[in-house]
Structure 1
Amino acid sequence: MLKLNDLRVSYGGIEAVKGISLEVPEKSIVTLIGANGAGKSTILRTIVGLVKAKSGTVSFLDEDITGQPSDQIVAKGITLVPEGRRVFPNLSVYENLKIGAYLRKDDFTEDINWIYDLFPRLKERSWQMAGTLSGGEQQMLAVGRALMSKPKLMMMDEPSLGLAPLVVQGIFEIIQEINKQGVTILLIEQNANLALKAADYGYVLETGNIALTGTGAELLANEQVKAAYLGKARSKA
């Protein structure tokens, strides 16, 4: 579904992504793991058109989308759940969900109901201001808002960051349920253990390069990955 070929991205004179090539098969869950500053978020932001590539290509469903405007990329079926959730705090839950459908011209009532089925807590708080929700509820809302664009590929940047372990487990169950319903997932996650357990395939990034690749199970069993990334989940209460 998604292919990056020799993608390079620079900030000023610093090359943040150094010739990355990777693939995300349709209906799979693929995860990128690595330390802070490895280039993971930059990759997602480049795919969705928020950052310009220095060179290389981004292809989606066999179409070169490199450098296209973000709204066109969203319209093609790619959406991003950003790090830090970034809900609109002074709008209600329902209004935030409607914003996720801003490019759509059809009736999205069924999709609102689907989001409420996935996240019953959002239905209970439909007219509550998003800024008054808990961190976990805001993450649910950020995911729901992204789903309102009817994505074929949903990218998620650190969905567990700052959340209690029990909430994180629930978020990952929802991610897997969304995937079962046909949405392809590209995931950045600081909890490498959970990410690799959920993922069909993974890439380990180090300072803008791919250091290791493999299935989720292979990377979980890899001694190098164990030493560097596993057992260090930093979810907070």
Structure 2
Amino acid sequence: MLKIENLCVSYGGIEAVKGISFEVPDKSIVTLIGANGAGKSTTLRTVVGLVKPQSGKIIYNDKDITGKSSEEIVRNGITLVPEGRRIFPNLTVYENLKIGAYMRKDDYSEDIKWVYDLFPRLKERSWQFAGTLSGGEQQMLAVGRALMSKPELIMMDEPSLGLAPLVVKGIFEIIKEINKLGVTILLIEQNANLALRVADQGHVLETGRIKLSGKGQELLENAEVKAAYLGNKKHELAQQ
């Protein structure tokens, strides 16, 4: 579905992404893991048109979308759940969801019901101001808002950031459920354990380059990945 070919991105003369290439197959979950500053978020922001690449190509469904506007990219079926959620705090839950469908011309009332079915907590708080929600509820709203554009590919930037372990577990159950419904997912996640457990394919980024690639389970068992990113979290996860 998505092909990244020799992508290079620079900020103020500093290369943040240095010629990376990878693919995201249709209906799969692919994760990018790595330390802060590795180029993960920059990659997603470039795919969705928020950052212009220096060179390379972004191919989506056999169409070159390199350098296209964010609006055009969203219309083509890609959406981003940004780091930090970026919900509209002074609007209600319902109004935030409506904004997610702002480019649609069809009746999206059934999709709002679908989002409420995925996130019953949001339905309970439909007329509550989004800024008064808990961190986990705001993350649910950010995902639900992204789904309102009816994406074929949804990209998520650190969906577990700042959330309690039980809430994180619930978010990842929703990620798997969305994927089962046929939505392709490109995921950036600080919790490498959880990310690799749900991912079909993973890529390890270091200072703007892909250092390792493989199936999620293979990377979980890779000694280098364990030492750098997993630590003792595997044992903690097993106890949950």
Residue 3 of structure 2 is matched in structure 1 by 3
Aligned residue runs from structure 1 range 1-237, under 5 A: 1-231=1-231
Q: How far apart, in 1, do the equivalents of 2:186 and 2:16 lie? A: 19
1:46 touches 1:52 (CA, 8 Å); kept in 2? Answer: yes
Give deviations 1:121-173, integer Å, cap 9, x for gaps.
00000000000000000000000000000000000000000000000000000
Cα distance in 1 for partners of 2:101, 2:109 equals 11
Large movers: runs of 4+ above 6 Å:
none
Q: Report if aligned partners of 1:193, 1:231 keep a CA contact under 8 Å in 2.
A: no
The runs of 5 or more residues in structure 2 that have no matched partner are 234-240
Sort the Cα spacing of 1:220 and 1:96 in 2 relative to 1 into closer, same or farther, 3 A.
Answer: same
Conserved 8 A contact 1:191-1:232? no
**How many residues of Structure 1 are paired with residues of Structure 2 in the alignment?**
233
Question: Structure 2 vs 1, CA of residues 98 and 232 (structure 1 numbering), >3 Å: closer, same or farther?
Answer: farther
Aligned to 2:238: none
Q: 1:232 Cα shift? A: 6.5
Task: Give the Cα–Cα distance (whole angstroms) in 2 for the partners of residues 43 and 27 of structure 1.
Answer: 20
SS of structure 1 residue aligned to 2:37: coil
Contact between 1:4 and 1:58, CA under 8 Å: does it hold in 2? yes
Q: CA RMSD in A?
A: 0.7
Amino acid at match of 1:224: E
TM-score w.r.t. length of structure 1: 0.98
CA distance in 2, matches of 1:204, 1:72: 29
* Distance in 2 (alpha carbons) for counterparts of 1:218 and 1:199: 11
SS in 1 for 2:204: strand
Identity of aligned residues (%): 79
How far the C-alpha of 1:13 sits from its partner, in A, is 1.1
Structure 1 unaligned spans of 5+: none
CA distance in 1, matches of 2:142, 2:92: 12
Cα displacement (A) at 1:231: 3.1
Determine if contact 1:8/1:16 at 8 Å carries over to the other structure. Answer: yes
Q: Hey, what's the Cα distance between the residues in 2 that align with 1:91 and 1:231?
A: 40
Q: Specify the code of the residue in structure 1 equivalent to 2:222.
A: N
Matched to 2:2, the amino acid is L
Q: The residue matched to 1:186 in structure 2 has which SS?
A: strand
Q: Which amino acid aligns with 1:228?
A: A
Letter of the 1:95 partner, please give it. E
**Helix, strand or coil at the partner of 2:203:** strand
Q: Distance in 2 between matches of 1:70 and 1:147?
A: 16
Shift of 1:186: 0.1
